[in-house]
Amino acid sequence: MHSFKSILDLSKIKNFIFDLDGTVIDSSSEVLSCLKKAFDKAGINTDEKRFTSDVIGPPLKDIIRLLKPDLTDENVICELVSYFRSFYDYNVNDISVMYNGIFDVLTFLKERECKLFIATLKPKIPTIRLIKKFKTENFFEDIYTIDKFGTNITKKDMIEDIIKKYDLKKSLTVMIGDAKSDIKSAKEAGIYSIGALWGYGDDKTYLINEADTTFNKPFEIIEALGKND
């Protein structure tokens, strides 16, 4: 079950900033498939055992380095990025899925007149494609991607800009994500955090220890808020 820490009264939160991959959608199978195709096209041998959801989350170049630690040639890395984008960005046959219960969570929060946002290290093109695929575009006030302002930005940058642009109170705002970077960025930006334990990776130690609260399944968010009504 979920574990509340006294620092966070979820019923008072009005602004929810969602990570995308590993929190709203599970794109691991699609991303890994396109990465394998990119490596194959570049003629680079890789260790198949490294292709797990654990690598997903960081910017694409960092994922490539995780998959091929001895690859140091930036030109080759950029080539792999280009190949991946050609396979992934406009793929109408994307096999990504939305986590069970997330649509209900978004609906529930919207009905409570909460403001919802996306903050993802994905670029704009595939992010918007996926948001539309799952018919969730009307839920979000704004969608922040790694390339929103033309140059790469961090999760912390995204959170801080959202707070400033929409004049949000930090005490009423939470970041929800499955990665260490989501929780760390929330702390650095001075807002609360929720660890999405249903996301990528097996080691949830950091989320459990550092997030202000955690949930095993999306529906537990509705359950927790329902108890406060």
- Judgement on whether residues 68 and 146 belong to the same structural domain of the protein: no
- Judgement on whether residues 109 and 74 belong to the same structural domain of the protein: no
- pLDDT tens-place string over residues 65-79: 999 999 999 999 999
- Determine how many CB atoms are found less than 10 A away from the CB of residue 107: 13
Domain termination site, one of 65, 88, 111: 88
- Judgement on whether residues 185 and 171 belong to the same structural domain of the protein: yes
Domain termination site, one of 88, 116, 135: 88
- Judgement on whether residues 75 and 185 belong to the same structural domain of the protein: no
Model confidence at 4: pLDDT above 70: no
Distances in Å between the Cα of 140 and the Cα atoms of 16, 83, 113, 162 are 10, 30, 12, 12
Q: Which domain holds residue 76?
A: 28-88
- Judgement on whether residues 183 and 160 belong to the same structural domain of the protein: yes
Q: Place 226 in a pLDDT band, splitting at 50, 70 and 90.
A: confident
Please state, in angstroms and rounded to a whole number, the distance separating the CA atoms of residues 194 and 217.
12
- Judgement on whether residues 76 and 118 belong to the same structural domain of the protein: no
Q: Which CATH number fits the domain that encloses residue 53?
A: 1.10.150
Model confidence at 2: pLDDT above 80: no
- Judgement on whether residues 114 and 203 belong to the same structural domain of the protein: yes
- Judgement on whether residues 21 and 35 belong to the same structural domain of the protein: no
Q: Where are the alpha helices (DSSP H) in 47-115?
A: 60-67, 74-88, 102-111
- Judgement on whether residues 205 and 108 belong to the same structural domain of the protein: yes
Sign of CA dihedral 220, 223, 227, 229: positive
Q: Place 146 in a pLDDT band, splitting at 50, 70 and 90.
A: very high
Looking at the 3D structure of the chain, how many domains does it have? 2
Q: Which CATH number fits the domain that encloses residue 136?
A: 3.40.50.1000
Cβ atoms of residues 96 and 26 within 8 Å? yes
Model confidence at 182: pLDDT above 50: yes
- Judgement on whether residues 17 and 127 belong to the same structural domain of the protein: yes
Model confidence at 118: pLDDT above 80: yes
Supply the pTM of this predicted model: 0.92
Number of H helices, E strands in the chain: 9, 9
- Judgement on whether residues 72 and 153 belong to the same structural domain of the protein: no
- Judgement on whether residues 153 and 215 belong to the same structural domain of the protein: yes
Least confident among 38-47, 49-58, 105-114, 138-147: 49-58
Domain termination site, one of 88, 111, 128: 88
